[in-house]
Amino acid sequence: MTKPYVIRLSDILDRIQSYLPGADTTLVEKAYVFAAKAHAGQVRRSGEPYLSHPLAVAYTLAEMKLDLPTIAAGLLHDTVEDADVTIEDIRRLFGDSVAEIVDGVTKISNLPVRSKLHKQAENFRKMLLAMANDLRVVLVKLADRLHNMRTLEFQPEHKRRRIARETLEIYAPLASRLGIDWLKQELEDLSFMYLHPEEYRALRDEVERVVAARQDFIEEVKRIIAQKLKEEGIEGRVLGRRKHLYSIYRKLQRNNLTIDQLYLVYDIIGFRVIVQKVKECYEVLGLIHSLWKPIPGRFKDYINLPKPNMYQSLHTTVIGPGGRQMEIQIRTEEMDRIANEGIAAHWLYKEAKIIEAGSAKAGQLEWLSRLVELQKELQNPRDFIESLRMDLFPDEVYVFTPQGDIKVLPRGATPVDFAYAIHTEVGHHCARAKVNGRLVPLDYELQTGDIVEIVTASNQKPSRDWLKFVKTSRARSRIRQWLKQEEKQRILSAGREILDREFRKVKLTLSQFLDDPRAEEVVKAFSFKTMEDLIIAVGYGRLTAQQVVRKFTLLREGEEEPSEEAMVVKKPRPDRGEDTLSVEGSEDVLFHLSRCCKPLPGDEVVGYITRGRGITVHRADCPNVKTLDPERLIEVQWEASNGAIYPARLWVITADRKGMLATISGAISACEANILEAEVKTTPDKRALFNFLVEVSDRGHLDHIMQSVRQIEGVIRVERRFA
Ligand code: MN
């Protein structure tokens, strides 16, 4: 794109009038005056007044045909950073959308950037897109970076390299993702020039030489295609253009070629045929394949399958005149415009028709606001918007350690997830968290760009509550592991306590037992591997302390093995499917479902370690749980159903009792559930209260029944009751 050497306000205003004829540009003029005042006296390294930079940025934005708030933001983008201006000043004078854009650009500029950047470039790019929930922020940042790259020669050497690398790794791919091809190419070539100045110059000279040598060939190909188009009556143009230097350089690298071997690269020149209609693209493809033999596997149809950035074209490689390979792209004018200018151009193209029709609202380009809206709108976007959105709003958040390393976490992640992502020990001892220097709760939802600091304390322990809010599987499994270990300790001490009590009844102590060599025989007699396993079995109630004590006293008295009776208690046949429960890490545990709250598979439940009678299972919200010793509570899970059935109590309140019992019973039976009891009362307000005890397989089954009963006419309320 052409550009005046020193940009003046009038250049920008002229440019705006070329695509927004008659627009009221007061906002841009005001921004210019404000920026001029804010930057007064500041000078760039080039010796130019600082204002030349925002002017150049705003001009590029006008070249990209952006709306007036974006161009105003371009003029103001460095005022908050470099001058004594606040976002609130900008908001007051220029409105919300200009302020949001300037704020976004300032935030991006202030992100900590580390030397390890190249490893995290992709994350950084995604983060920029995620932070800029208005695409215009990214566009201003790209225009800013373009001008900084164009004037990079004035920076000291080490800074030049850093900025060039960052541009190559972050900003050029961003331009590419947004489909702004010219910008990507210029950023890449400028970066290449500063990162590898010698190779850049050598390659540039060699490319010029090769292109000059192939000039006849280029002209011949263009002539042949143009001739063919004319014969077939297709209106179109043929271009033969050399590719940008950095893409040629990459190609050499990929194929392990030196610059001297450039003649081996056939596609330094790319040919492009631009026609009017989509149908003609395929016609031209046929014509080209009839002229020259296509190379199999090289044809790509991006018209039917556009790239995520909306790029559309047909690509083919054929063996051209003189047996030389050549790559040809075929596309329509509109596709060409989108390939050069990016996704924005798509809306602009439609907009242009409206502007021509004279109905455009001056100063506001609808395509842009529509794009911004589409970004925000999450339902049913068109396919390409969907894929763009995936990039713009990934289901991830990007946060920083205080050292500036980026951690990628799933959306909704908390400081605890972050702590476990750093190290398991940091997670276990995570006591408090600071985000951007401020204390936050441990279940705070991290936001992209947050700088997160974890304060550990040696006496801090993981809490079961953490499982309710952590989002990463890493944190979840580490917390579970810790709790499991802790639970094991708890069961062990419960087992020890029970055993000790039982031993004292026969004037012994647990330690006497443990110190006795015959204790090992007791372990073996009950088929355990270790003493620990035996104590755990007692803790869980699988084995009674009496059995252990009896066995031990018999051994001490030197008596023979008694009958079967002292064996491990076989789990009784569960009458109500109590073996569909498990405790992590333990098998063969005895469970009782508590009568007070009648838990069902699917309910959140907790276990209570009784003294020697196994584990009682309550619903987590059972009021009785609060009265139990918290030291003896244990996590239990439902296993897959084994066809067992459970009782559940239902209250149904209806307006009128006539015929209701039969209707409700019918509905319950239709859900394949048995009714064990049914009772009806009339309430003082003349309603009927039905009390059912039903048998169900799990929570889902009960929900289904409740759903069906609710649909019965006259039913006012359906409730599940504890007792
Ligand atoms: Mn700037």
3-state SS, 556-594, equals: HCCCCCCCHHHCCCCCCCCCCCHHHEEECCECCCCEEEC
In order, the DSSP letters of 45-108 are TTSSBTTHHHHHHHHHHHHTT--HHHHHHHHHTTHHHHSS--HHHHHHHH-HHHHHHHHHHHHH
Residue 45: which H helix or E strand, with range? none
Q: Report the C-alpha gap between 342 and 136 in whole angstroms.
A: 13
For the chain, helix (H) and strand (E) counts, in that order, are: 29, 21
Q: Report the C-alpha gap between 79 and 37 in whole angstroms.
A: 10
Residue 347 C-beta-side C-alpha neighbours within 13 Å: 18
CA of 78 to the centre of ligand 1 (A): 5
301 given a catalytic annotation: no
Residue spans of alpha helices (H) in 357-423: 366-376, 383-392, 415-422
Q: Would you give the end-to-end CA distance of the chain in angstroms?
A: 79
CA of 363 to the centre of ligand 1 (A): 24
Helix-, strand-, coil-residue percentages of the chain, each rounded to 5: 55, 15, 30
> Which pLDDT score, from 0 to 100, does residue 234 have?
93
CA of 216 to the centre of ligand 1 (A): 44
CA of 354 to the centre of ligand 1 (A): 34
- The one-character DSSP state at 314 is E
> Which pLDDT score, from 0 to 100, does residue 685 have?
77
State the residue for tokens 């005895």. 590
List, for residues 22-73, the tens digit of each pLDDT value: 888 999 999 999 999 999 888 888 888 999 999 999 999 998 888 888 899 9
CA of 394 to the centre of ligand 1 (A): 27
CA of 374 to the centre of ligand 1 (A): 28
Main-chain dihedrals φ then ψ at residue 485, nearest 5 degrees? -60, -45
- The one-character DSSP state at 8 is -
CA of 70 to the centre of ligand 1 (A): 14
Q: Report the C-alpha gap between 462 and 613 in whole angstroms.
A: 29
584 given a catalytic annotation: no
CA of 350 to the centre of ligand 1 (A): 31
CA of 712 to the centre of ligand 1 (A): 67
Return the closest-CA partner of residue 323 out of 266, 238, 285: 266
CA of 148 to the centre of ligand 1 (A): 7
CA of 147 to the centre of ligand 1 (A): 8
C-beta neighbour count of 267 within 10 angstroms: 16
Q: Which residues pair with 238 in a beta bridge?
A: 273
451, 399 in Cβ contact below 8 A? yes
CA of 58 to the centre of ligand 1 (A): 10
CA of 621 to the centre of ligand 1 (A): 57
Q: Greatest CA separation found in the chain?
A: 115
In order, the DSSP letters of 627-672 are GS-GGGEEE-EE----S--EEEEEEEEES--TTHHHHHHHHHHHTT
> Which pLDDT score, from 0 to 100, does residue 297 have?
81
- The one-character DSSP state at 360 is P
CA of 94 to the centre of ligand 1 (A): 19
List, for residues 305-331, the tens digit of each pLDDT value: 877 667 889 999 998 888 888 999 999
CA of 10 to the centre of ligand 1 (A): 20
Catalytic residue among 14, 81, 88, 631: 81
Return the closest-CA partner of residue 135 out of 70, 186, 84, 200: 70
CA of 102 to the centre of ligand 1 (A): 11
Tokens of 260: 């001297």
What is the per-residue burial (b if ≥16 Cβ within 10 Å, else e) of 311-337?
bbbbbbbbebeeeeebbbbbbbebbbb
List, for residues 518-530, the tens digit of each pLDDT value: 888 899 888 889 9
CA of 54 to the centre of ligand 1 (A): 7
Q: Which residues pair with 717 in a beta bridge?
A: 653
State the residue for tokens 């015929």. 659
Q: Which residues pair with 242 in a beta bridge?
A: 269
Catalytic residue among 82, 89, 366, 500: 82
CA of 75 to the centre of ligand 1 (A): 9
Q: Which residues of the chain have pLDDT under 50?
A: 1-4, 115, 347-393, 560-577
CA of 146 to the centre of ligand 1 (A): 10
CA of 357 to the centre of ligand 1 (A): 37
State the residue for tokens 């339902």. 379
Q: Report the C-alpha gap between 539 and 54 in whole angstroms.
A: 74
